[in-house]
Amino acid sequence: MAAEVLNESRGTLSLTSGLRVHAGRYRHDAAVPAHTHGFAELVVVLAGSGVHASRSGRRTLRVGDALLLRPGLCHSYEDCEGLELYNCCFNPELLQRELAWMREDPLLGRLLWANAEEAQGTLEAAALAECVGHLDALAGLDARLSHRADLVGRLSLVLGLAARTLVEPEGPGAHPAVLAAVRLLEDRPTQPWTVDGIGAELHLSPGYLARVFKEATGLPPMAYLARHRVETAAGLLLHTDLPVGRIAREVGWADPNLFARRFRAHLGMSPTAYRARFTSQDKTMR
Domains of the chain are 6-166 (2.60.120.280), 176-279 (1.10.10.60)
- Give 38's contacts (C-beta < 8 A, 6+ positions apart): 12, 13, 14, 15, 71, 72, 91, 234, 235, 238, 239
**How much is the average pLDDT of 202-231?**
92
| Residue 237 confidence (pLDDT) above 70 | yes
**What is the predicted pLDDT for the residue at 246?**
95
Is pLDDT at 170 greater than 80 in this prediction? no
Q: What is the pLDDT of residue 115?
A: 67
For residue 13, pLDDT over 50 is answered with: no
Kindly tell me if the per-residue pLDDT of 270 is higher than 70: yes
What is the pLDDT, as a whole number, of residue 268? 85
pLDDT of residue 156: 94
pLDDT for 48 beyond 70 = yes
pTM, rounded to two decimals: 0.77
Residue 14 clears pLDDT 80, i.e. is over it: no
pLDDT at 235: 85
Contacts of 59 (CB under 8 A, 6+ apart): 51, 52, 53, 65, 67, 120
pLDDT tier, 173 (very low <50, low <70, confident <90, very high otherwise)? low
pLDDT grade, residue 171 (50/70/90)?
Answer: low
pLDDT at 271 over 70: yes
pLDDT in tens, 53-112: 998 889 999 999 999 998 888 899 999 999 999 999 988 888 888 888 888 888 898 888
Q: What pLDDT does residue 119 have?
A: 87
Burial of 172 from C-beta contacts in 10 A (0-12 / 13-18 / 19+): exposed
Numbers of helices and strands, H then E, in the chain: 11, 9
Between CA 38 and CA 279 the distance in angstroms is 12
Percentage of residues of the chain with pLDDT beyond 90: 52
Look at residue 282 and tell me whether its pLDDT is greater than 50. Answer: no
Average pLDDT across the chain, whole number: 85
Look at residue 9 and tell me whether its pLDDT is greater than 90: no
